Chains A and B, each alone.
Chain A
């Protein structure tokens, strides 16, 4: 497709369950970002890939969060042993070399 595609759009997880969120970036985009947006807040940076290399993971809130992009295209954000504070929208974004970042519609995670 023409834009950044994320799945699932909506996910309800029981506390303690593992979840995996998928991102298909715009074709040819080298950079890929994950952001977390809590209710009523602006997006906050989680991690950044350039091709398959994870160059910055300073925003990941705990070691329960893990992201990968093994072939430099599709990326997966995994959250282990989910907690209620993990409830948020997880936004994926990609960019070409000119620095403009394009966002997907997000994966809405609710932990109950």
Chain B
């Protein structure tokens, strides 16, 4: 069975600092990997996805993630965060055309 672990439930960081949100997954088959962002009282917005090809994936709002098959990780990074990046971030995994399995989320809090 697939599962997703987001190791940090909350990450506080100062504005303009770099950030890494960690995600590890388990699956017995090839998977697709996703990061979604959820702003307060809103639905989920796709940040980036890994389907195949280059293991470094660039997404919206300056975020990127690297797929590491040997470590079964898909950590999300941004070199310099803004106040507006404050939100909850969800890592998710799916098999081809299958439904998404989500982690419990990481709340990113950017302080001035």
Contact = CB atoms under 8 A, between A and B. Distances in A.
A45 B32 CA distance: 16
Contact of A33 (B99, B104, B105): B99
Interface string A18-62: 000000000000010101000001111100100000001000000
Contact of A45 (B34, B49, B97, B99): B99
Interface residues of B, number: 21
Contacts of B94: 99, 101
A42 B97 contact: no
Given A31-B97, A43-B44, A43-B90, A99 B103 contact: no
Contacts of A91: 43-44
Contact of A100 (B43, B45, B49, B101): B49
B74 interface: no
A102 interface: yes
A72 interface: no
Interface string B34-76: 1010000011111001010000000000000000000000000
A45 B43 contact: no
B51 A103 contact: no
B43 A105 contact: yes
Interface of A: 4, 6, 31, 33, 35, 41-45, 48, 56, 91, 93, 95, 97-106
Interface of B: 32, 34, 36, 42-46, 49, 51, 90, 94, 96-97, 99-105
